[in-house]
Copies of this chain bind each other. A is one copy, B any other.
Amino acid sequence: MNLKEFAARIGLSQTTVSRAMSGYPEVRPETRRRVLEAAEKLGYRPNISAQRLATGRAGAIGMVFQGGGRFGPHSSEFMGGLSTRLQEDGIDILVSTVETEAEEAAAYRRLAASKRVDAVVVHTPACADARIALLQTLALPFIVHGRSTAERSFAFLDIDNFGAIETAAGYLADLGHRRIALINGDTTSTYAQDRSSGYRTTLEARGLILDPALVGHGEFTDETGFRLMQAFLALPAPPTAVIAGSMMSALGAMRAIRIAGLAVGADVSLIAHDDVFPYLSPDNLVPSVTTTQSPIRAAGERIGDMVLRLLQGEAPEALQEIWPVDFRIRGSTGPAPA
């Protein structure tokens, strides 16, 4: 049974049938249900090419990663959330990986030209992000996970990275810590710059000295956390507190503190930013870890929702969210040692 026959059989137009089956929400829920039930009953299976022709929709959202190495715990949680929302509407995710920045730009051009996706999700933007600039010139809808300081006439969802570090550093200052270290992420990314600003602003407001030797950058791995923390502890005046950008860096920092014969919480206080990984809970570490917290899976789910609204015609400017970050005090923070 082809589209024409099926549409005639259930008394609807081919366009309505195609739209209902493509998953996009231009069609009333009752109609969609009716079409899907009839398709099930009559054994009608849409020809995707014909459906695309009729709806102009690909039924997929694209994500481009620079290198398979970029797949890590953050990407799986984010994609888990994104796909949870998209699957409700039968929308797939098309994952492209590329080697270089130039190839990433080429991938977006290719996705735009080929109509294999209806929109793309851009992740970890820089302050002036070439991808955003490019996508604004292409006829390919997009949403950004994160922010860019460039002109913001695009859809985005970000967490309040400035506020997260402001809260963490403020809490440590209240506990009497004067030398607070920061293990931050990739310097070019907006999130890392926002965290850096939150750190600097708070330390200045509290009259604490900004020591560049107490700030380190790198990937969110145990290894980087360990290496940076070891360097901090080797300083003539080591820090009494540290803020780690991820649970992974926190694991490495805790290891370095322990190996130095110091106790986390008593000798060195630790606060980590927790993206909420179900298999690595701050409650389960010894000692439990004080965190700023925002589940990246929830962000993925919400971005799935926002991208569907974007495709329904909502203005990008109406699809901009900045989420506050929770603060959870646990066992890894205590008063500064006398």
Interface of A toward B, CB cutoff 8 Å? 45-49, 60, 65, 67-73, 75-77, 79-87, 92-99, 109-110, 113-116, 220-223, 226, 248, 251-252, 255, 258, 277-281, 284, 286, 297, 301
Measured between C-beta atoms, what is the minimum distance from A52 to chain B in Å?
9
Contacts A76-B72, A113-B45 given; indicate if A98 touches B87 (C-beta within 8 A): yes
> By the criterion CB–CB under 8 Å, are A87 and B115 in contact?
no
Q: Which residues of chain B come closer than 8 Å to A71, judged between CB atoms?
A: 76-77, 79-80, 83
Q: Which residues of chain B come closer than 8 Å to A258, judged between CB atoms?
A: 286
Chain A interface main SS type: helix
25 contacts between A and B (CB under 8 A): A47-B113, A49-B114, A49-B115, A67-B84, A68-B82, A69-B80, A69-B84, A71-B76, A71-B77, A71-B79, A75-B76, A76-B76, A86-B97, A87-B97, A87-B98, A87-B99, A92-B94, A220-B279, A222-B280, A222-B281, A248-B280, A251-B279, A252-B284, A255-B286, A280-B280
Beyond the given A68-B81, A255-B286, please list 11 additional residue pairs across the A-B interface where CB-CB is below 8 A. A45-B113, A60-B116, A71-B79, A72-B279, A87-B97, A87-B99, A93-B95, A93-B96, A248-B279, A251-B280, A258-B286
Measured between C-beta atoms, what is the minimum distance from A39 to chain B in Å?
10
Q: Which residues of chain B come closer than 8 Å to A87, judged between CB atoms?
A: 67-68, 96-99
> By the criterion CB–CB under 8 Å, are B97 and A83 in contact?
yes
> By the criterion CB–CB under 8 Å, are B98 and A222 in contact?
no
Which one of B84, B98, B110, B284 lies within 8 Å of A97 (CB-CB)? B84
Measured between C-beta atoms, what is the minimum distance from A282 to chain B in Å?
11
> By the criterion CB–CB under 8 Å, are A94 and B94 in contact?
yes
For A224, the closest partner residue in chain B by CB is B279
> By the criterion CB–CB under 8 Å, are A279 and B222 in contact?
yes
For A98, the closest partner residue in chain B by CB is B87
Measured between C-beta atoms, what is the minimum distance from A92 to chain B in Å?
5
Measured between C-beta atoms, what is the minimum distance from A332 to chain B in Å?
15
State in angstroms the CA–CA spacing of A94 and B109 once bound together: 18
Contacts A92-B96, A97-B86 given; indicate if A72 touches B286 (C-beta within 8 A): no
For A221, the closest partner residue in chain B by CB is B279
Q: Which residues of chain B come closer than 8 Å to A248, judged between CB atoms?
A: 279-280
Measured between C-beta atoms, what is the minimum distance from A262 to chain B in Å?
14
Q: Which residues of chain B come closer than 8 Å to A81, judged between CB atoms?
A: 68
Measured between C-beta atoms, what is the minimum distance from A299 to chain B in Å?
13
Q: Which residues of chain B come closer than 8 Å to A69, judged between CB atoms?
A: 80, 84
Q: Which residues of chain B come closer than 8 Å to A114, judged between CB atoms?
A: 46-49
Q: Which residues of chain B come closer than 8 Å to A94, judged between CB atoms?
A: 60, 92-95
Most buried by B among A85, A252, A255, A284: A284
State in angstroms the CA–CA spacing of A81 and B150 once bound together: 33
> By the criterion CB–CB under 8 Å, are A68 and B84 in contact?
yes
